Structure 1
Amino acid sequence: MDLTSEGDTLCLNRDAPWDSFDSQSYMQHNYSALRTDDEEIINVVRDYFSDHFRTNPERPVSGIDVGAGANLYPAFSLLPWCDQITLYERSAQNAAWLRNQVPRYDDSWAPFWQVLCKEEEYQDITDPRARFKHSVTVEEGDLFRLPERLRNQGVGTMFFVAESLSTSHREFEGAVAAFIGSLAPGAPFAAAFMENSGGYWVGDDLFPACEVGSAEVEASLDPHATVKTLRRFGLPEGPVREGYTGMILACGRRDPA
């Protein structure tokens, strides 16, 4: 399979083996321990959402994590601000894994929550497992066919999704647009991207990716949103896998309608 973004053969989102995605293997490889780069990203997202909602105190709001996969920390970042959070996921395997986590997520996620608790709004949640259980629902669906009832969300996250579903830059841009389209005008968001990803293995399956850098991320968001923070994170502990050069985080707000 040609995994080059502009090669003669594209691997589109519909072509990838999403329903055989090995969720447990992915989680163990990527999130069984808190890495420095993820901690740095969580710090920025925590502070951005905390600053936003202090200035715009109307809450609770509804929230969405688009392409949640086998990663809970984006949803954790939404907990103080939301009375309901939708984890929207295409892969049946990932959706099943998420549903198993909702009643009582694994102990390995506790260090991720502790990073968020450096801000008082997160500290105020005395039982994050109970809050997660009662706030979170999982829904299977295609990002490019987001149902109308899931639009107009008050806050959203999308981590390592738009660039990790296809080798097509057009689909990358479409995924970013669809994510921003799930938000209400003015709603804050955090979106993270693997920099220069060339594809990735999960278990025995190879999944496509689209090589993007900060310029491509900014250009994809510019028609739809105002970016307040755009940061690149290096790899202080080395890469978690082969085939990427860093991570990019964008925090901002959807533009008014």
Structure 2
Amino acid sequence: MPIRDPRFDSAIDIAPPRVDAEPSVNADYPWDVFDSAAYFEHNYSSLRSDDEQIIDIVAGFFQKNEQRRLRAQAIDVGAGANLYPALAMLPFAAELTLCERGFSNRQWLEAEILTPHPSWWQFWSHMNAGRAAYQPIKNPFDLLGRRAQVTKGNIFSLPAGSYDMGTMFFVAESITNREPEFVRATRSFVNSLKPRAPFAAAFMRNSSGYRVGNRSFPACSVDEDDVRAALAPVVAPNVTIQTVESRSLRDGYCGMMVATGFKKA
């Protein structure tokens, strides 16, 4: 059963105790005061080439594998200060759940979907270019404001089998330095989807941690093999993991990875 951590008022799953068990690092960090504005400014105030590569992978995958079915319920897990995973699902989803644990990130998202920063047009323009599924949407941010709902949630206690498609960008490996928590978070994301639902998940490669504003946050150093192993029990066999070159974002990582595939039937 989930219990409440009084420091952050967030649900935390308690695993059966082990002799060598260590406390949850994820629960020890001040996610409710995450500096959303600083994170946005550093990462998304302009469109970088690595995000262009990620958009090409994710938007291309969704366009190839999804029909225009507005009955779809979509989720972006750990949305943070980032709108472009939700934008990538916009042509296919009647409802978009922006699931976020941190109070400051939820506040930022609620304000952002009403009055988006101009830089998001750069992301949308790249997403929209040459992709038939995206081109009919002339005002994506008005549509996002009507379809998206910001919801308080914890990646470790997502409802199983609930969504028709989903994204998770830089979350599972960026909330803990414990490999078991990374694995549990990754599988919980996929398990929140319905059988055969498409998903896209992005990961920092071999990250050693990061700073946002004046605070440091943990990371679990993972590579393609780690991501594939974490996904293996919950996804269809044809999952694809692509490496994205990126060196200029910050110190302490070796590029990015994008996994696309379908939840196991």
Which of 193, 196, 204 is the aligned partner of 1:194?
204
Q: Distance in 1 between matches of 2:186 and 2:200?
A: 11
Q: Distance in 1 between matches of 2:69 and 2:39?
A: 36
Q: Taking structure 1 as the reference length, what is the TM-score of the superposition?
A: 0.91
**Residue matched to 2:136:** 124
Q: Give the number of the structure with larger relative contact order, counting CA–CA contacts within 8 Å between residues 6 or more apart.
A: 1
Aligned-partner SS, 1:164: coil
Structure 1 gaps, min length 5: 1-7
Which of 175, 191, 203 is the aligned partner of 2:213?
203
Q: Does 1:66 align with 2:74?
A: no
Deviation at 1:156, TM superposition (A): 0.2
Deviation at 1:228, TM superposition (A): 3.3
Q: Does 1:180 align with 2:180?
A: no
Q: Distance in 1 between matches of 2:71 and 2:89?
A: 10
Deviation at 1:141, TM superposition (A): 1.5
Total equivalences in the alignment: 243
Question: How has the CA–CA distance of structure 1 residues 10 and 208 changed in structure 2, closer, same or farther, with 3 Å as cutoff?
Answer: farther
C-alpha contact 2:205 2:256 (8 A) present in aligned 1: yes
**Residue matched to 1:4:** none
**Residue matched to 1:49:** 62
Deviation at 1:250, TM superposition (A): 0.3
C-alpha contact 2:243 2:256 (8 A) present in aligned 1: yes
C-alpha contact 1:196 1:211 (8 A) present in aligned 2: yes
Q: Distance in 1 between matches of 2:239 and 2:154?
A: 28
Aligned-partner SS, 1:162: coil
Report the residue type matching 1:98 in the other structure.
L
Aligned-partner SS, 1:125: coil
**Residue matched to 1:135:** 147
Aligned-partner SS, 1:122: coil
Which of 101, 106, 114 is the aligned partner of 1:90?
101
Deviation at 1:17, TM superposition (A): 1.1
Structure ranking higher in helix proportion? 1
Overall identity of the aligned pairs, in % = 42
Query: What is the RMSD of the two structures over their aligned residues, measured on CA atoms?
Result: 1.5
C-alpha contact 1:63 1:85 (8 A) present in aligned 2: yes
C-alpha contact 1:189 1:251 (8 A) present in aligned 2: yes
Per-residue deviation, residues 112-142 of structure 1 (Å, max 9, x unmatched): 0011102011111111111101000001121
**Residue matched to 1:159:** 169
Aligned-partner SS, 2:66: helix
Q: Distance in 2 between matches of 1:147 and 1:229?
A: 25
**Residue matched to 1:28:** 41
C-alpha contact 2:69 2:93 (8 A) present in aligned 1: no
Following TM superposition, where does structure 1 have runs of at least 4 consecutive aligned residues deviating by more than 6 angstroms? 8-11
C-alpha contact 2:99 2:150 (8 A) present in aligned 1: yes
Structure 2 counterparts to residues 209-228 of structure 1, below 5 A? 209-226=219-236, 227-228=238-239
Structure 2 gaps, min length 5: 1-20
Q: Distance in 1 between matches of 2:212 and 2:157?
A: 25
Q: Taking structure 2 as the reference length, what is the TM-score of the superposition?
A: 0.88
C-alpha contact 1:163 1:212 (8 A) present in aligned 2: yes
Q: Distance in 1 between matches of 2:177 and 2:239?
A: 27
